[in-house]
Amino acid sequence: MSNPLRVAIAGLGTVGAGTVSLLTKHRDLIARRAGRNVDIVAVSARNSEKDRGFSLNAYDWYDDPVAMVKEADIDLVAELVGGEEGVAKEVCKAAITVGRHVVTANKALMAMHGDALASEAEAVGVSLNYEAAIAGGIPIVKALREGLSGNQINRVYGILNGTCNYILTEMRENRISYEAVLAEAQKLGYAEADPSADVDGVDEAHKLALLASLTFGTRVDFAGVYTEGIRRISIEDIDYADEFGYRVKLLGSARMTENGLEQRVFPCMVSKDKAIANVDDAYNAVVVHGDFVDDTMYEGRGAGAGPTASAVVADIVDVARGFSVPTFGVPVADLINVESIPIERHWGACYIRLMVRDEPGVIADITAVFREEEISIESMLQRARSQTEAVPIVLTTHACEEAAMRRTLKRIGALDSVVEQPTMIRIETLN
Amino acid sequence: MSNPLRVAIAGLGTVGAGTVSLLTKHRDLIARRAGRNVDIVAVSARNSEKDRGFSLNAYDWYDDPVAMVKEADIDLVAELVGGEEGVAKEVCKAAITVGRHVVTANKALMAMHGDALASEAEAVGVSLNYEAAIAGGIPIVKALREGLSGNQINRVYGILNGTCNYILTEMRENRISYEAVLAEAQKLGYAEADPSADVDGVDEAHKLALLASLTFGTRVDFAGVYTEGIRRISIEDIDYADEFGYRVKLLGSARMTENGLEQRVFPCMVSKDKAIANVDDAYNAVVVHGDFVDDTMYEGRGAGAGPTASAVVADIVDVARGFSVPTFGVPVADLINVESIPIERHWGACYIRLMVRDEPGVIADITAVFREEEISIESMLQRARSQTEAVPIVLTTHACEEAAMRRTLKRIGALDSVVEQPTMIRIETLN
C-alpha cells in the first residue's frame, strides 16, 4: 500500500462535517478501495469551539484556511467554504499554486472562475474536481467526463435544485401556496433564510453552466444562461398543468445548435409521461442524450450532508487512486467559445393564464392578437363565469418564437378587459 | 500528446462493429478527451468477407483472435466475441498473459471467470474493464467502483435485461401474449432465436452476480443467484397486478444481510409509485442505496450496438487516460466470501392466482391451508362465477417466509377443487 493521501478540510459546515464523518466512519473501506489510507490531517473553519458531534483533536487546526493550504503537509484540500469569491477562491488558488489537489463542492466559484482555476491546475499538474457541485450525490460529472466519453452529446437537462423541486412538489401534492411551503422549508432547513439563490434559479444556473461546459467542451458561460425562478408559480397554474397532462418543474437545459449554445433555467411544463416529470421532493435528476448511448438518466438527492459528502469523497478517492481527468473533460485550451442564443429566439409551446373581465368580445380581442402575431392556439379553457369578478382564461399554444410570444403578451396585457399581467409558463417537449 | 493507444477488436458482431464505428466517427473527439489518439490497429472475426458497412483495410486482419493478441503490436484488446468459455476466455487470458489491457462486454465470461481473470490482470498490472457487461450504456460499473466509493451499500437492484422488459411492457400495453411478443421480438432482432438466456433470467443473473460483487466487495457467486424467468407470466397476472397497484418487472436484486448475501432474479410486482416500475420497453435501470448518498437511480438502454459501444469506448478511454481501478473495486485478495441465503428463506409478500371449481367450501378449504401455515392474507378477489368452467381466485398475502409459501402452494395445488398449479408472483417492497 502506498503512502496515505493527506487531506485538509476547509470549512466545517454541513458539507465539511459530513465529509469528516464519512472519511472517519469508512476509513477502512476507503483504504481498501483507494489502495491507500486517506487521512485528514488539518482542518479550518470559522469557529473551533462549536460542537460538531466529533472531536477535532486529531487534526491540526488553522484559523486561516489559506494559511492551512500553504503550510500544512497535505496532498489535497477539500474546499467546503462556499461562495463565489473571497476565502473559497483564495483557498483554491493558493492550494493549486503550492501544488495541492483541490476538491470542491462550490458551484458558484466553479461557474464564475472554473476556467481560470482549471487552467492553473493544469499548468501545475494537480486535479480540480467538483462532483459535489452539481446534483449532489449523483455522480454526473463522472458520467459526463468519463462514462459517456465516447459520445457526442447535443442536449443535457435536469432538475438541479432540490429546494425548488421540493417547493413545487409540496405545492402540487398538498395544495399549499408558494409562500407557505417556502416558510416551512426554511423552518426545516431545506431552504436558506435568504432563499433567492435557490428560488430565483441562480443556483441551478451555476450548475447548468458547469454541465454545459462538461457536455459540449465549451468555456463556462454563466452569463449566457437565461434564468427565471419559481416565485411567480401559483397553485392554480400547477393545477391547470395537471389538467393539460403536465408537471411544473424548474428545469435547467443546455443544447448545442447550429446557431449557438442554448442555456436556460426556467420553470416549465413537462409531460407527465416523462420520467423526469415524476422526480419529486428534494431529488435531482439529469438526462443526457448521447449519439451512441441514446438517453440516459441519473437520479438522486441533490443536497444534504450525506449525498454531498459522498460526492466529495468520490473525488478524493479518484485522487488517491492517482486518477486525473481535465476539469471540464478536455484541456482548458481545447474548450471552445460558442455564442449564446438569446431567450428571444427560444422556440417552443407555451401555457398562458389570463385574468379577464367576463364580457362580450374579450376572447375575440385576445385571439385576434395571437392571429396577428402568427401564434396558433392549441387549446383554450374558460370555465368560471362571473358578472363581478375577473375569471381565468387558460390556453396553450403551438411552438412559436419567444419574441413573438413576448409581443403578444405585452399587447394582451394592455387590453382593457385583461385585468392582470398574463402568466406564461413554457412547455418543454424533451424528445 | 502521448503515443496513441493501440487497440485490437476481437469480434465484429453488433457490438464489435458498433465499437469500430464509434472509434472511427469520434476519433478527434476521443483524442481530445483521452489526451492521445485511440487507434484500431488489428481486428479479428469469423468472416473477413462479410459486409459490415465499413472497410477493414486499415486494420491488420487475424483469423485467430488469440494469435492477434499475442502477435499484434497492441496495448489493449476489446473482447467482443461473447460466450462464457472458448475463444472469448482464451482471448482474455492470452491478452493478460502478454500484458495487454482487456475491455470486455461479456457478462457470462465475467460472471463465471471474472475473479480468476481479475486476479491474473492484477498480477500483471493491466486493466480488466467490463462496463458494457452490465446494463449496456449506463455507466453503472463506474458509478459503483468510483462515483459511490465513499458509501457502504446494502442493496442494489435493477432491471437488467432489456428483452424481458420489452416483452413485459408489450404484454401490458398492447395485451399481447408472451408467446406472440416473443415471436415479434425475435423478428425485430430484440430477442435471440434461442431466447432462453434472456427469458429464463440467466443473462440478468450474470449481471446481478457482477453487480453484487462490485457493490459488496464479495467474490462473484453466480451459483448463489436464485433465478426465475418470465415464461410463466400471463397477461391475466399483469392485469391483476395493475388492479392491485403494481407493475410486473423482472428484477435482479442483491442485498447484504446479517445472515448472508441475498441474490435473486425473478419476475415480481413493484408498486407503480416507484420510479423503477415505470422503466419500460428495452430500458434498463439500476437503483443503488448507499449509506451516505441515499437512493440513486441510473437508467438507459440496456443493449444494442450504440449503447454497448458507448460503454466499451468509455472503458478504453479510461485506459488511454492511464486510469486503472481493481476489476471489482478492491483487489481480488480483498474480496470476501459470503454465504448465499437460499430462496426458501426469502421473506416477502406474494400474489397468488388459483383456478378453482366454483363450488361451496372451496374458499374455506384454501384459507384453512393459509391459516395452518400461518400466512396471513392481505386481500382476495373473486369476480367471475361459472357452473361449468374453472374461475380465478386471486389473493395477496402479507410478508411470509418462502418455505411456508411453498408448502402452502403445494397443499393448495393438491386440493380437488383447485384445477391448475397455483401461480405465485412475489411482491417487492423496495423501501
B138-156 pLDDT, tens digit per residue, is 999 999 999 999 999 999 9
B79: which residues sit within 8 A by CB, 6+ positions away?
Answer: B10, B11, B65, B88, B91, B92, B95, B102, B103, B104, B105, B106, B109
Write the residue in B30, B138, B296 that is nearest to A296 by C-beta.
B138
How far is it, in rounded angstroms, from Cα B73 to Cα A322? 27
Give residue B144's identity as a one-letter amino acid code.
L
pLDDT at A163 over 60: yes
Mutation target to probe the A interface, by most A beta carbons within 10 A, among B14, B38, B141, B146 is B146
| Band of pLDDT at residue A1, cut at 50, 70 and 90 | low
A247 vs A2: which has the higher pLDDT: A247
Inter-chain contact A131–B147, Cβ cutoff 8 Å? yes
Q: Does residue A217 sit in the same domain as residue A349?
A: no
Q: Does residue A115 sit in the same domain as residue A205?
A: no
H/E run at residue A349: strand A347-356
Q: Does residue A183 sit in the same domain as residue A124?
A: no
pLDDT at A176: 95
What's the start-to-end Cα distance of chain A, in Å? 49
What is the DSSP code string of B233-279?
--HHHHHHHHHHTEEEEEEEEEEEETTEEEEEEEEEEEETTSGGGG-
Which grid coordinates belong to B61? 486482419
Q: Does residue B156 sit in the same domain as residue B248?
A: yes
pLDDT digits (tens, 9 = 90+) for A184-235: 989 987 788 899 999 999 999 999 999 999 999 999 999 999 999 999 999 9
Give me the phi and psi of A9, to 5 degrees please.
-110, 120
Write down the H helix ranges in B46-201: 65-71, 87-97, 107-124, 140-142, 162-174, 178-188, 196-199
**What does the pLDDT average to over B196-215?**
97
pLDDT at B1: 57
Inter-chain contact A151–B330, Cβ cutoff 8 Å? no
Neighbours of B282 (CB within 10 A): 21
Among residues A267, A284, A277, the alpha carbon closest in space to that of A246 is found at A277
pLDDT at B431: 72
Q: How many domains, chain B?
A: 3
Q: Which residues of A touch B139 (CB under 8 A)?
A: 142-143, 146-148, 296
pLDDT digits (tens, 9 = 90+) for A274-320: 999 999 999 999 999 999 999 999 999 998 999 999 999 999 999 99
Q: Does residue A254 sit in the same domain as residue A169?
A: yes
pLDDT at A53 over 90: no
Q: What is the CATH number of the domain that holds A129?
A: 3.40.50.720
Given B270, B301, B332, the domain boundary residue is B301
Mutation target to probe the B interface, by most B beta carbons within 10 A, among A310, A330, A335 is A310
Q: Does residue A184 sit in the same domain as residue A116?
A: no
Q: What is the CATH number of the domain that holds B271?
A: 3.30.360.10
pLDDT at A411 over 70: yes
Percent of chain B with pLDDT over 70: 100
| C-alpha dihedral (B131, B132, B135, B137), degrees to nearest 10 | 100
Inter-chain contact A293–B310, Cβ cutoff 8 Å? yes
Which grid coordinates belong to B116? 480468476
User: Which among B93, B107, B142, B207 is annotated as catalytic?
Assistant: B207
Residue A310: helix, strand or coil by DSSP? helix
Evaluate whether residue A95 is within a structural domain.
Answer: yes
Which grid coordinates belong to B160? 437488467
Q: Which are the catalytic amino acids of A?
A: 207
Q: Does residue B43 sit in the same domain as residue B69?
A: yes
pLDDT digits (tens, 9 = 90+) for B303-312: 899 999 999 9
**What does the pLDDT average to over A392-412?**
97
pLDDT digits (tens, 9 = 90+) for B208-245: 999 999 999 999 999 999 999 999 999 999 999 999 99
Q: Does residue A255 sit in the same domain as residue A351?
A: no
pLDDT at A290: 97
Q: Which residue has the cell 448472508?
A: B260
pLDDT at A39: 98
Q: Does residue A94 sit in the same domain as residue A173?
A: no
pLDDT at A402 over 90: yes
Evaluate whether residue B312 is within a structural domain.
Answer: no
Strands A38-44 and A60-62: parallel
Which grid coordinates belong to B47? 468472416
pLDDT at A243: 94
Given B133, B156, B181, the domain boundary residue is B133
pLDDT at B318: 98
What are the CA-CA distances from residue B233 to residues B282, B395, B412, B414 (Å)? 18, 16, 20, 22
How far is it, in rounded angstroms, from Cα B283 to Cα B161? 8
Among residues B252, B177, B174, B240, the alpha carbon closest in space to that of B208 is found at B252
Evaluate whether residue B376 is within a structural domain.
Answer: yes
pLDDT at B430 over 70: yes
Evaluate whether residue B204 is within a structural domain.
Answer: yes
pLDDT at B192: 86
| Band of pLDDT at residue B2, cut at 50, 70 and 90 | confident
pLDDT at B94: 98
Q: Looking at the complex, report in whole angstroms how far the Cα of residue B414 sits from the nearest Cα belonging to chain A.
A: 45
Evaluate whether residue B329 is within a structural domain.
Answer: no
Cβ A269 vs Cβ A426: under 8 Å: yes
Mutation target to probe the B interface, by most B beta carbons within 10 A, among A146, A288, A327 is A146
Cβ B259 vs Cβ A265: under 8 Å: no
Which grid coordinates belong to A49? 469551539
- Its domain, for residue B282, covers 140-301
Q: Does residue A250 sit in the same domain as residue A363?
A: no
Inter-chain contact A275–B330, Cβ cutoff 8 Å? no
**What does the pLDDT average to over A163-177?**
96
Q: Which residues of A touch B138 (CB under 8 A)?
A: 296
pLDDT at A190: 78
Q: Does residue B170 sit in the same domain as residue B62?
A: no
Helix orientation angle between B87-97 and B107-124, rounded to the nearest 10 degrees: 10
pLDDT at B200 over 80: yes
Inter-chain contact B296–A137, Cβ cutoff 8 Å? yes
B406 vs B302: which has the higher pLDDT: B406
pLDDT digits (tens, 9 = 90+) for B408-419: 999 999 999 999
Write the residue in B304, B317, B330 that is nearest to A149 by C-beta.
B317
Among residues B88, B20, B87, the alpha carbon closest in space to that of B57 is found at B20
Q: Which residue has the cell 457470462?
A: B108
Q: Does residue B242 sit in the same domain as residue B97?
A: no
Evaluate whether residue A326 is within a structural domain.
Answer: no
Evaluate whether residue A138 is within a structural domain.
Answer: no
What's the start-to-end Cα distance of chain B, in Å? 49
Evaluate whether residue B219 is within a structural domain.
Answer: yes
Percent of chain B with pLDDT over 90: 92
| C-alpha dihedral (A85, A91, A92, A94), degrees to nearest 10 | 120
pLDDT at B17: 96
Inter-chain contact A33–B147, Cβ cutoff 8 Å? no
pLDDT digits (tens, 9 = 90+) for B260-289: 999 999 999 999 999 999 999 999 999 999
Q: What is the CATH number of the domain that holds B393?
A: 3.30.70.260
pLDDT at B136: 87
Given A100, A133, A166, the domain boundary residue is A133
B96 vs A190: which has the higher pLDDT: B96
H/E run at residue A307: helix A305-320
The number of C-beta contacts closer than 8 angstroms across A and B is 184
